[in-house]
């Protein structure tokens, strides 16, 4: 885990294309080794997590142009999480709560289809897709979700206003919310935090990044 973290830190500081390709190859190899080690130790969730990392590194190596600030942040946070989870038993019970039930709110059918297909190909994620805020609010009243993915720019009520309504519900007062948006300016990131969001992932995203997130 420590070796993978060191390579990732170097990768995040590197801008040269060929060097990044070389580092991604090493990252992919180390993630695979970790996956096999966790699997052998019967740490199934950590094995699935490092498998998702390997998938992300593979996708990035195939298209270096998809790497952006959001991607680097996701990888960096993943390393922090992996170190903490691998060095302590305290989070294992919480991590075993799979599949994660996610509500995806977006007026873009392509985005929703990508998330739904991702869920169908993995055992760790269960996605309920909603093409608008009104539908999403109805789903929240009748369902029980562990995670919310929400677009920001939507007709009618936007993502920030949606999360403000979400936080009024006691059972969703602390539910993690990840904004999914093509906007990446400082003001958007600031508003995403102030409105109750926990994180932000940039469009276009890869399936691997969503799975790791």
pLDDT tens digits, 139-179 = 998 889 999 999 988 888 888 889 888 888 888 988 999 98
Number of H helices, E strands in the chain: 10, 5
pLDDT digits (tens, 9 = 90+) for 59-86: 999 988 888 888 898 999 999 988 888 7
- Which whole-number Å values give the CA distances from 34 to 62, 123, 183, 211, in the listed order? 21, 20, 34, 17
Fill in the DSSP letter of residue 126: E
Q: Which residues, in sequence order, are bridge partners of residue 147?
A: 102
Could you tell me which of 88, 87, 120 has the C-alpha nearest to residue 102? 120
**Residue ranges of E strands in 27-105:** 100-105
Task: Please report the pLDDT score of residue 100 as a whole number.
Answer: 86
pLDDT grade for 53, boundaries at 50, 70 and 90 = very high
């Amino acid at each position: 885990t420590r070796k993978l973290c060191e390579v990732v830190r170097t990768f995040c500081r590197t801008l040269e294309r060929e060097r990044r390709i070389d580092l991604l190859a090493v990252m992919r190899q180390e993630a695979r080794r970790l996956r096999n080690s966790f699997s052998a130790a019967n740490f199934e969730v950590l094995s699935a997590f490092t498998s998702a990392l390997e998938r992300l590194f593979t996708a990035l190596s195939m298209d270096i142009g998809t790497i952006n600030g959001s991607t680097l942040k996701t990888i960096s946070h993943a390393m922090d999480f992996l170190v903490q989870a691998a060095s302590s038993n305290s989070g294992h019970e919480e991590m075993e709560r799979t599949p994660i039930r996610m509500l995806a709110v977006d007026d873009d059918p392509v985005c929703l289809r990508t998330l739904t297909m991702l869920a169908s190909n993995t055992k760790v994620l269960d996605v309920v897709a909603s093409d608008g805020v009104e539908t999403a609010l109805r789903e929240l009243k009748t369902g029980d979700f562990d995670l919310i993915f929400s677009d920001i720019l939507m007709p009618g009520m936007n993502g920030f206003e949606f999360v403000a309504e979400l936080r009024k519900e006691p059972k969703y007062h602390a539910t993690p919310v990840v904004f999914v948006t093509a906007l990446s300016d400082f003001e958007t990131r600031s508003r995403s935090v102030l409105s109750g969001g926990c994180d932000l992932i940039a469009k276009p995203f890869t399936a691997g990044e969503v799975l790791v997130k």
